[in-house]
Amino acid sequence: MPADLTRKEPAELNIFEAEEVLAALAVEIAHHDERYHGQDDPEISDAEYDALRRRFDAIAERFPSIARTLAPSTAVGAAPATGFAKVTHSRPMLSLSNAFDAEEVAEFEARIRRFLSLAAEEPVELVAEPKIDGLSASLRYVNGRFVQGATRGDGTVGEDITRNLRTIDDIPNRLEGAPETLEIRGEVYMRKDDFRALNQAQESAGGKAFANPRNAAAGSLRQLDSTITARRKLRFFAYSWGEVTERPADTQAGFLDRLRGWGFQTNPLTRLCGSVDELLAQYTAIGEQRATLPYDIDGVVYKVNRLDWQDRLGMVSRAPRWAIAHKFPAEQAETILRAIDIQVGRTGALTPVARLEPVTVGGVVVSNATLHNEDEVRRKGVRVGDTVVIQRAGDVIPQVVRVIEEKRPATSVPFEFPSVCPCELKTAVTRLEGEAVRRCGGGLACPFQAVERLKHFVSRDAFDIEGLGEKQIQAFWQDGLVTQPGDIFRLKRHEAALKQREGWGEKSVDNLLAAIEERRTIGLDRMIYALGIRQVGQATARLLAANYGTLDAWRAAMLEAGKTPSGDDASAEKPNDALADLLNIDQIGMSVANDLIAFFAEEQTLDIVADLEEELDIQPFAVPVAGDSPVAGKTVVFTGTLATMGRSEAKARAESLGAKVAGSVSKKTDYVIVGADAGSKAAKAEALGVAILSEEEWTAMVDGT
């Protein structure tokens, strides 16, 4: 992507430039989603990751018709740990979007107004509370009795830590006047003084000291022996709920009152604010107290106070729309950059990584930092031997902020980005127009890419095979036991040899083979995600699975989409029916379509999919049905200005009822809902004989009135 496009504001871009920038950002975001959620090996800080998403969202808002490529991951934590039973959350435990300045907070409030179609004079109350740097936990009460506790895990499945949570004094065993089923959520943390005392005890006993209070709390909570947990002083702030049979309040502030009435601790610095100015004032006030607080915090969380508005706002794939975390500035430190290494990802992207003289930032020793791509290396002028400022925001690999040029060695030379892949094949690397990265063109012949794809295949949001992580994949690849995904399901043939391997015993091999057998049955959406197709994250994989239903139907459609009467490229101006259907899926654009078509155009990948079919039971996608929804499985299109809700809210509600929301009208559309000033979509629906509903008729249908 030309450097001048990276500097342009959204308002300065034309539609062609916007498409180029969005495509490049989508690729970069998908890469970092995989590094963070799929590999537990992030390359950038929270701050920089969110900056990428914010730029994408800003451009997408200005050019909604072409914003179809980003597929954000929905993973929000770590995979459940070995040794604990797994708990499936009845409602996902979500992550939060972040804001880093006053303008972003104001935009958050403005988005709420736009989504809910609120008048300018309508007040929007928000609750502001400190963001505790601890470990999220969920407490399940039945008939007022605490029956189960779990970690957040990956947001969908956590670890059963009931016995350990029972040792925390802040967690009541019984609640008076609680709903029949009530799930309380909050943060387990360790006070700073208790952390210092624990480390002193660890050092006196010859044990290892913890890096910070959060790590100490997490390590204490994940003890298999609950008596160890009981000896460590953990505490709990309650702030939210999950499943509940009867809503205990009408507002967030009212719910916090109920929590205190039941005996829970809530943060005393929490305030109800009536404006953005009040939010920012509370942020400043909390920030000024940060150093003297008895616990660690890393920001302030803002939540819409009215719970009925929270319901309407709902969530995106990774976070609620009704809450945001206003983070404190990232911590920085100086160190020496000793080397720049090149890493090759599963899509062939070459990423420069700075190897640093180890330095402590925010209580954590770091030795690696991301340099993103060659443009960033050139822009920041980074050289081996430089003294650099690094920045860390959260438990991630930090970023290089800038070079301290006055400390540069006289012998340093500019870094030359490699023209060939560092793999043994030394394949030439290319940088396509519109992309920020160079890629190795070796495909699966490149051992780096092949291994990275296998690592992705077994990652937690894909097949999630317990006991088969990155180290095991790397070792099995080197020994020729696993060279393609289907080989994983044939490892049983090597059972005797596996049990003779160093570090492996009979029980560990038996457990691994049992875990592999458990994953022979898998849903289509997870299967699609596991294949590691460029730009196809969890959200896009789910969209594809929902629209095509079965592997056979999806594969046939993708193969057909790549054909044109003239044999031209799939991006021809007149797409065939299969390509038109693909592009008609809301959030799927030409960039993603081309990557899907390219995937199925490779004979090797077709063979991999066919091989997996022989080994697996790939379940058709089951469309979620909300009660007796009359629109479950139906394809709907919204056009024109709606009177009672914004377009985003209307789409979100339709999807929650099991409908498929499309971006354009076709012969497969079931309903077109027209608002004021409906244009060409309404005309096309009439020409095709598609049912046209007014907003009132649509509301009556979905409400059953």
**Residues annotated as part of the active site:** 131
CA dist 200 and 202 (Å) reads 5
Place of tokens 């006055």: 406
| Polymer length of the chain | 705
Q: Residues with Cβ < 8 Å from 563, sequence gap 6 or more?
A: 576, 578
Judged by phi (left if over 0) then psi (alpha if -120 to 50, else beta), residue 363 lies in left
Helix axes 590-601, 551-561, angle to 10 degrees: 100
316 within 8 A of 330, measured Cβ to Cβ: no
Q: How many CA atoms lie within 13 A of 644 on its CB side?
A: 12
196's enclosing H/E stretch is helix 192-204
CA dist 599 and 496 (Å) reads 36
3 exposure class (CB count in 10 Å sphere: 0-12, 13-18, 19+): exposed
Q: How many CA atoms lie within 13 A of 166 on its CB side?
A: 14
221 within 8 A of 161, measured Cβ to Cβ: yes
CA dist 122 and 339 (Å) reads 56
Q: Compute how many other C-beta atoms are within 10 angstroms of the C-beta atom of residue 408.
A: 14
CA dist 139 and 171 (Å) reads 9
Nearest to 632 by CA among 642, 622, 641: 622
CA dist 339 and 361 (Å) reads 19
Nearest to 243 by CA among 95, 96, 92: 92
Going by DSSP bridges, is the β-strand pair 429-430/399-403 parallel, antiparallel, or unpaired? unpaired
572 within 8 A of 580, measured Cβ to Cβ: no
**3-state SS string for 283-329:** HHHHHHHHHHCCCCEEEEEEEECEHHHHHHHCECCCCECCEEEEECC
CA dist 257 and 62 (Å) reads 41
93 within 8 A of 256, measured Cβ to Cβ: no
Place of tokens 């960033």: 376
Nearest to 621 by CA among 525, 540, 519: 525
Place of tokens 């701050």: 47
Nearest to 234 by CA among 297, 184, 189, 293: 189
427 within 8 A of 440, measured Cβ to Cβ: yes
434 within 8 A of 1, measured Cβ to Cβ: yes
- Can you name the residues that pair with 444 across neighbouring β-strands? none
Going by DSSP bridges, is the β-strand pair 297-304/323-327 parallel, antiparallel, or unpaired? antiparallel
Nearest to 519 by CA among 474, 489, 491: 489
Helix axes 470-478, 447-457, angle to 10 degrees: 140
Please give the structure tokens belonging to residue 676.
């004021």
269 within 8 A of 281, measured Cβ to Cβ: no
